[in-house]
Structure 1
Amino acid sequence: MTDVLRVPLEDSPVAVADPYPGLDRLREAGPMTRAQTAFMGEVWLVTRYDLARELLADLRFSRRRDDDGDVAAVDSDPPDHTRIRRLVRKAFTQRRVEELRGWVQDLVDGMLDGLEPSRPVDLLDRFAYPLPIAVICEMLGAPAEDRADVRARTEKILAGEVEENREEVYERTKQYIVELIAQKRLTPGDDLMSALIAAQDGGERLSEPELVELGIALIAAGYATTTNLIGNGVHALLSHPDQHELLKRRPELIGSAVEEFLRFESSFSAAGQIAKEDVKVGDLIIRKGEVVLVSFGGANRDPVKFEDPGRLDITRESNQHLAFSHGIHHCLGAPLARMEAQVAIGTLVRRFPDMRLAGPVRWRANIMRGLHELPVVLGG
Structure 2
Amino acid sequence: MSETTLPLSGIPDSALTDPYPFYERLRAAGRVHRMQTPIGLEAWFVPHYEDARALLVDPRFSKAVHHSDGPSAGDRKRESSFANNMVSTDPPEHTRLRKLVQKAFTHRRTELLRPRVQEFTDRLLDKLEKEGRADLMEDFAFPLPMMVIGELLGLPPEDLADLREKTVFFFLEESYEGNPVQRFREKQASIGEYVKKLIEHKRLNPGEDLIHGLIEARDGENRLSEKELVATVMLLIFAGFLTTVNLITNGLHALLVNRDQLALLAARPELINSAIEEFLRYESSLALIEGHATEDIEIGDTTIPAGSLIIVSVHSVNRDPAAFPDPNRLDITRNPNPHLAFSHGLHHCLGAPLARLEAQVAINAVLKRFPDLTLDCAPEDVTWHRDFFSRSLHALPVRLAP
Task: Tell me the TM-score normalised to structure 2 length.
Answer: 0.90
Shift of 1:5: 6.2
Match of 1:69 among 72, 78, 95: 78
Residue in structure 2 matching 1:368, options 380, 390, 401: 390
Could you tell me which of 312, 317, 324 is aligned with 1:294? 312
SS of residue paired to 1:376: strand
The answer for unaligned runs of 5 or more in structure 2 is: 66-72, 175-179
Q: Deviations over 1:170-207 (max 9, x none)?
A: 22211221122112112221111000000001211111
Q: Which amino acid aligns with 2:62?
A: S
1:209 counterpart (202, 227, 236)? 227
Q: Is the 8 A contact 1:157 1:224 kept in 2?
A: no
1:265-310 deviation line (CA, Å, top 9, x unaligned): 0111111111112222221111111111101111011111111111
Partner of 1:127: 140
Q: Distance in 1 between matches of 2:26 and 2:186?
A: 36
What is aligned with 1:87?
100
Q: Does 1:378 align with 2:392?
A: no
Alignment of 1:222-301 (within 5 A): 222-301=240-319
Q: SS at the partner of 1:364?
A: coil
Check conservation: 1:72, 1:80, Cα contact below 8 A: no
- 1:193-246 Cα deviation digits (max 9, x unpaired): 000000001211111111111111111111021011111111101010000000
Q: Percent identity?
A: 50
Check conservation: 1:279, 1:285, Cα contact below 8 A. yes
| 5+ long unaligned stretches in structure 1 | none
Following TM superposition, by how much is the alpha carbon of 1:16 offset from its aligned partner in structure 2, in angstroms?
Answer: 3.5
Partner of 2:31: 31
Match of 1:145 among 158, 174, 177: 158
Aligned partner of residue 223 in structure 2, secondary structure: coil
Shift, 1:352, TM fit: 0.5
**Residues 104-133 of structure 1: CA deviation (Å, up to 9, x unaligned):** 001000011111565432211111111111
Shift of 1:6: 4.8
8 Å contact kept, 1:174–1:216 = yes
Distance of aligned partners of 1:5 and 1:48 in 2 relative to their CA distance in 1, 3 Å threshold:
farther
Change in CA separation of 1:131 and 1:164 when aligned onto 2, cut-off 3 Å: farther
Distance in 2 (CA, whole Å) between partners of 1:54 and 1:266 is 20
Distance 1:81 1:146, change over 3 A: same
Distance in 2, Cα, partners of 1:120 & 1:164: 39
Q: Is 1:157 the counterpart of 2:157 in the alignment?
A: no
| Distance in 1 separating the partners of 2:199 and 2:182 | 28
What one-letter code is carried by the residue in structure 2 that aligns with 1:362?
T
- Deviation digits for residues 346-370 of structure 1 (CA, Å, limit 9, x no counterpart): 1111101111111222212221111
Q: Deviations over 1:322-355 (max 9, x none)?
A: 0001111111110110000111111111101111
Distance in 2 between residues matched to 1:154 and 1:297, nearest whole Å: 22
Q: What does residue 8 of structure 1 align with?
A: 10
RMSD of aligned residue pairs (Cα, Å): 1.7
In 2, the alpha carbon distance for the partners of 1:42 and 1:171 equals 25
**The residue matched to 1:313 in structure 2 has which SS?**
coil
C-alpha distance in structure 1 between counterparts of 2:376 and 2:185, whole Å: 37
The aligned amino acid for 1:122 is D
1:191 is matched with which residue? 209
| In structure 1, C-alpha distance between the alignment counterparts of 2:267 and 2:145, rounded to whole Å | 27
C-alpha displacement of 1:64: 3.2
Is 1:117–1:379's contact at 8 Å kept on the other side of the alignment?
Answer: no
Q: How many residues align?
A: 378
How high is the TM-score relative to the length of structure 1?
0.95
1:174 alignment counterpart: 192
Classify the secondary structure of the residue corresponding to 1:115. helix
Q: Which moved more, 1:351-360 or 1:244-253?
A: 351-360
